[in-house]
Structure 1
Amino acid sequence: MDIAPGPGIVRAMMTDFDIVVAGGGLNGPALALALADAGLRVAVVDARPADARAGDAFDGRAYALALASQRLFSALGIWGGLAANAQPILKVQASQGAPGDGPGPFGLNFDSAEIEEGRLGYLLEDRFLYRALLAAMQGKVTHLSGVSVTGQDIGPSGVRTILSDGASLTSALLVGADGRGSGVAARAGINRLGHDYGQIALVAAVDHELPHQGVAHQYFMPSGPLAILPLPGNRSSIVWSEDASAARAILALDDAAFLDVLRPRFGDFLGRISLAGPRFSYPLNLTLAESYIAPRIALVGDAAHGVHPIAGQGLNLGLRDVAALAEVIVTARRRGEDIGEAAVLARYQEWRRPDATWLAYGMDGVNALFSNANPLLRAARELGMGVVDAIPPLRRGFMRQAAGLRLDPMPRLLTGQRL
């Protein structure tokens, strides 16, 4: 990535903030913390009330954090308070099969002992991660919750962000971290590419009789993949992608009937299972912004790329954006550049768009390849997984990619270094 200074040097300008971030989920606060730690004035506009996100009750929603993402949270100073609630991912096993048949004879087996870092990643519940980010923002970041961004006026030297309560904020840069239906992107005239998968993801947590040993499982079935992700204790989170019409019927079932449908897919390798919390669902689609930047606008996370949940890479992709954009902005500020100037933002897009696009279409291709019952494709899939599994250097390459360790160049935050 070329980080040579652009022509835009900061001009004297009075603004409320250096950066306004639209979106208070996870990527927005993480970016705000990284920037605030480097001395920038940052506001996060969060449409949901803070207390609606920061509940104490277990609900089963969790994230598979790549090792690089864990290092980012360490650099932000919050991992120490999260580690006790995080489940290390020691192994990943991927195979294909059909409900009731069990896994096929060949598959991928990733063991963290094969890489020098000793971890592939961690499973962490949403409630712990959001609360840690919320607490860390106190005193560093202006957090406006329960209001949304309704407009943006772009000028030659700044942007005015208009809020739903009638207030407005001025800044050098507006960052859209506001999800797949990003209003920031739409108002900036950024078009989107993509398609609907015809699948719905069913998300829940299960208690099981036997320990999971820190192993994450990915089963590829004709109607869609099922991920079984280890949580602390004898408990796992499931992300079950199913044909949309079948998923709607499954969602209408009571808990007992839901488990009756799940069990043949889940198998009995963890003994008896039971639901450990509420069930959630969301439709699956691929949506990619044609540009991650516009005049005084940058997009991160799902606002830039919404991907299939195979391998749990959605949040990890967003955190790669966070690390890259924060580094570009902080470097530009220290050089005396205008952080919202086009040449500065172009460095961010050059750094992030190829990687995210490649990974998004890669997962799109994997879903298309595996979500069918074609016997010829099934045989080819078995052969392909068997070959990768049998060649240690190739297998370790896939492992390091999944752990987020193969970016070039690697943003400093993803190595655990502060900016």
Structure 2
Amino acid sequence: MAIRKDSLKGYETRMANPDTETRDLLILGGGLVGMTLALAAAHRGLSSHVIDRADPADLTREGFDDRATAISTASWRLFRNIGLADGLEKFACDIASIAVTDQNRPGRLDFTPEAHEGTLGRMFPNRRLRLALFEAAAAQPLIHWVPKAEIASRERGEFSASATLADGRTLKGRLMVAAEGRNSPTREEAGIAIAKWDYSHRAVIAGLSHSRPHGNVAWEIFYPAGPFALLPMRDDPDGTHRSSLVWTVSEADGAGVTKLSDRAFLAEVQKRMGDILGEVTGAGPRSSWPLGFHHTAKITDTRLALVGDAAHGIHPIAGQGLNLGLRDVGALVEVIADGMRIGLDPGDAQLLKRYENWRGLDSFMVALATDGLTRLFGVPGRTASAVRRLGMSAVQRTPLLKTFFMDEARGVSGDLPELLKA
């Protein structure tokens, strides 16, 4: 069920006179990345203020957000290590395999790990992730959570950072963390340069019901207009088979697709997916989101660190957006905790430099790869399609390449933070 306003009364009463101490972290933004950061920090004994403008009761209301998210193997380890996995497990749908095709033509590429390697990830409704995070945060004394708050001004000084709220309260932390998403006002105010462009695409999101079981397979069907993804979800209690659709369309077509009649929408979906999941029998509410790319020139400044979409925004082609942000979380918490153990301040320039070096290159390479895939599969024409399918067939026959791509999808390659390790 959603978090109701009355379920927060105990929390709000406890915090009626906000703690005036300077905490380790001042986290601006309490979404999926920001709240995970606060919980991961608390796991290592770090205190935080979390300021968010949204009402948690609205964010967890049925029907508010019908999106679903793929949580990679490494990100699931993070959730398990900070105590969230047990409460989330019953809502998970394993991704046992990923199938990739070019317009459903011959030359399919399959990624299926060995039995001992586990799954490629898990699918969760965003609402369930938020509920788990919010409930854990409300019970954690090291987190001072301030929802429904507008920030009037931000200050970063030699010894601390602060945010003054519209109601006059001022909250202080030793390190300010921007976790406000793609349009981060903290990043803009800091004057951090950013490279960005618009793909002129929109992602149309909807839940689907269908006649055939998905078999825990995630499908990525590439069309010139963009990928058409079918992501496995748990069956309904009555046995109805469910998947989440992420359909990339041109900006010009976005409004038209979301406004199609239910019958016309189902027909268009069926035409693009073929008989992969049998007959599409229904679709939930539709929403659409603009797609773009952005990457900052740096992810730190004086007593400031950027995490998640505040630092990098990528195309959802490989489902790595949130997972990239959760790697930021693990790295930042590890850097700060290690530094504090030897007496360094959370905002120490040496620690921020380590975080910058650790996360800057990895996030850039993932962003570059997703952008390249988007452009590669967006080239129209039969010749381009034939070349792509030839390349996929080559990868299909090369176990080492398949293992490399699967490790990237699972988030287990590279220099992982301790919280994202088994």
Q: Tell me the TM-score normalised to structure 1 length.
A: 0.92
Written as runs of structure 1 = structure 2, the 5 A alignment for 1:222-301 is 222-233=224-235, 234-301=241-308
State, as a whole percentage, how many aligned pairs show the same letter: 39
Q: What does residue 17 of structure 2 align with?
A: none
Match of 1:77 among 66, 69, 83: 83
* Unaligned runs of at least 5 residues, structure 2: 1-19, 236-240
Gaps of 5+ in 1: 1-13, 98-102
- 1:10 is matched with which residue? none
1:5-404 aligned within 5 A: 15-56=21-62, 60-97=66-103, 103-113=104-114, 116-140=116-140, 141-233=143-235, 234-404=241-411
Superposed CA RMSD in Å reads: 1.5
Q: Distance in 2 between matches of 1:290 and 1:148?
A: 27
Q: CA contact under 8 A between 2:69 and 2:126: conserved in structure 1?
A: yes
- Structure 1 counterpart of 2:238: none
Going from structure 1 to structure 2, the CA distance change for 1:119 and 1:58 (only over 3 Å counts) comes to farther
Read off the aligned partner of 1:354 and give its amino acid letter: L
Q: State the distance in 1 between where 2:154 and 2:64 align.
A: 37
Report the Cα distance in structure 1 between the residues aligned to 2:245 and 2:174, rounded to whole angstroms.
41
The verdict on how the C-alpha distance between 1:15 and 1:189 changes in structure 2, with shifts beyond 3 A counting, is farther
Cα distance in 1, alignment partners of residues 260 and 297 from structure 2: 39
Q: Is the deviation greater in 240-249 or in 217-226?
A: 240-249
SS in 2 for 1:263: helix
| TM-score normalized by the length of structure 2 | 0.91
Instruction: Give, in angstroms, the shift of residue 83 of structure 1.
Output: 0.6
Secondary structure, counterpart of 1:269 in structure 2: coil
Contact 1:158–1:172 (Cα < 8 Å) also in 2: yes
Task: Show the counterpart of 1:6.
Answer: none
Distance 2:117 2:165 in 1: 44
| Alpha carbons 1:54, 1:130 under 8 Å: kept | yes
* Distance in 1 between residues matched to 2:199 and 2:171, nearest whole Å: 38
Structure 1 residue 58 displacement after superposition? 8.6
Aligned equivalents of 2:139 and 2:72: distance in 1?
A: 29
User: Equivalents in 2 of 1:205, 1:367: separation in Å?
Assistant: 23
After TM superposition, the runs of 4+ consecutive aligned structure 1 residues lying more than 6 A away are none
- Corresponding residue SS for 1:387: helix
Query: For 1:18-59, what per-residue CA distance to the aligned partner results, in whole angstroms no more than 9, with x for missing partners?
Result: 111111110001000011122221111111001011224595
For the 8 Å contact 1:21–1:43, the answer to whether it is kept is: yes
SS at match of 2:419: helix
Secondary structure of 1:363 counterpart = helix
How far apart in 2 are the matches of 1:404 and 1:37? 21
Q: Deviations over 1:65-97 (max 9, x none)?
A: 111111100001010111111000001000111
